[in-house]
Amino acid sequence: MRRLFGSVRARAALGATVVVAVALVAAGLAVLLVLRANLIDQADLQAEADAQNVASQVAVGRPYADVEWPDGRPGQVVGEDGKVVAVSEDLEAIEGAGSPEVRVGGGAGDGDGDDPGRGEVSGDDPRLSSGSATVDGDRADYRFAAVEATTPRGETVTVYAGAPLAPEQDAVGTVREAMLIGLPALLVVVAGVTWLVTRRSLRPVEGIRREMAAITASEDLSRRVPEPDTHDEVARLAVTTNETLAALEASVERQRRFVADASHELRSPIASLRTQLEVGAAHPELLDVEGAVRDTVRLQGLAADLLLLARLDAGERPGPGRVDMGALVREEVSQRADRVPVTVVGGGAFEVAGSRGQLARVLGNLLDNAQRHARSSVEVSVRGDRGAVVVGVADDGAGVPAAERERIFERFVRLDDARTRDDGGAGLGLAIARDVATRHGGALTVNEGERGGALFTLRLPAAPGDF
């Protein structure tokens, strides 16, 4: 049972059936109530008309014994003292009228027909009631109308006339039986149609599920789920799923390349360091201490870069601190006196929100790159621009070809010319710089500088309140 109702098709069919059942039951009850009320109104009108007719006869002085009653319908005339003075033909029992008596008790108005004048009928507001009567051995339910009339002698009597409720009961019973028969059949049809429609609508979802299960089992991220040609939510789900698979495949591929490139980059300094240590162990006089230190420093820097990239890939966000980019630039430049000269253009306090350590790493990487490729000088500028802080790092080197200006920000990518002049970089500096800039809500781009070399532009949102 749990598996059955764990299905979307079953729940949809059950839900639709319940909703339709409630709606049909409510509509059916409303129809029955309206039908019954209309038929009772018709019976009231008939009973009122019969009572008015008999009251008119009494008002003109017709003897009670000669009053003409409607065929087969009960009625009685009751005097002011509560005694029955006239009854309809074949009336054997009555309830709900003026008196339970069905025999004439005599008294008021003997109805001799010789009284002068004419009485009147007070039938503007007849009283209505429900009851039952037995006429010629048949007992049935009736609606009674009571109309007062005044005889020519001035005596007031009340005329009760009944109209049968059998037509109303028969009609209501017929409609109720039809509903009891038709409602279950209609609910079965609703449930079946809902089941089939839902099954057909969810068939692509089952195909997606099967394909996803197969992809999970095979670990083949190159596979894609089928995309139905329905242009509905399921089709959009399939498209989104395939886009997710594509992004996941690209991410896994990047991770594999990253691991392979990192292993390759680590292998060289480790092999070199091991060789030097083995030679030093065998021949201490041949140990190249400075080379071992350089390889160790290179390993340390590469490990730090890999750790930072791992943290960035894990979604690490910068802290809520404020950093003065002007002061940070001057601090970074002051530590590079022994390299290619670096000139700072512009000044002032330009604060951004973020991590001082990560932004210092960005500036350090950009300066390393610029000094590595510059011919004679590097220029760094800091300025404010429409709610942003812009840092430019320009060199007078050969520049970056337009076709390579995006590729150099990929991990472990070094251009051929850079590779020949590289003094130990692993091709991670610019990738780290762009990732950090992006995490800070900014951007890092490269273009041709005024002196023909490369111009790296770091644009970061200014701290609130600065511009």
pLDDT of residue 295: 76
Indicate the residue among 192, 218, 244 that finishes a domain.
Answer: 218
Residues 88/57, Cβ–Cβ less than 8 Å: no
CATH code at 378? Answer: 3.30.565.10
Indicate the residue among 312, 329, 354 that finishes a domain.
Answer: 312
Cross-strand pairs, 457: 392, 445
Distance CA 11, CA 199 (A): 11
Mean pLDDT of 417-434: 64
Residues 53 and 178 reside in one and the same domain: yes
Residues 273 and 332 reside in one and the same domain: no
Q: Looking up tokens 């009228």, which residue turns up? A: 97
- Does 228 reside within a domain? no
Indicate the residue among 189, 218, 247 that finishes a domain.
Answer: 218
Q: State the total domains in the chain.
A: 3
For residue 415, what pLDDT band results from cuts at 50, 70 and 90?
low
State the average pLDDT for the chain: 83
For residue 107, what pLDDT band results from cuts at 50, 70 and 90?
very low
pLDDT at 111 over 70: no
Q: Choose between 354 and 300: higher pLDDT.
A: 354
pLDDT in tens, 12-37: 888 888 898 899 889 889 989 998 89
Helix (H/G/I), strand (E/B), else coil: 12: helix
pLDDT of residue 6: 54
What are the backbone dihedrals phi and psi of residue 241, each rounded to the nearest 5 degrees, phi first?
-60, -45
DSSP at 462: B
Nearest CA among 30, 28, 33, 36 for reference residue 184 = 28
- How many other C-beta atoms lie within 10 A of the C-beta of residue 95? 15
Residues 298 and 417 reside in one and the same domain: no
Residues 300 and 338 reside in one and the same domain: no
pLDDT in tens, 330-350: 998 888 766 788 989 877 788
- Does 346 reside within a domain? yes
Residues 198 and 253 reside in one and the same domain: no
For residue 119, what pLDDT band results from cuts at 50, 70 and 90?
low
Q: What is the domain extent for residue 245? A: 233-312
Residues 41 and 97 reside in one and the same domain: yes
Residues 121 and 165 reside in one and the same domain: yes
What is the distance of C-alpha 61 from the center of its chain?
Answer: 79
For residue 458, what pLDDT band results from cuts at 50, 70 and 90?
very high
Radius of gyration (Cα) for the chain, nearest Å? Answer: 51
pLDDT of residue 460: 93
Residues 199 and 258 reside in one and the same domain: no
- Does 406 reside within a domain? yes
Distance CA 387, CA 409 (A): 25
Residues 425 and 388 reside in one and the same domain: yes
pLDDT in tens, 360-386: 989 989 998 898 889 888 999 999 888
For residue 118, what pLDDT band results from cuts at 50, 70 and 90?
low
- Does 454 reside within a domain? yes
Distance CA 254, CA 276 (A): 33
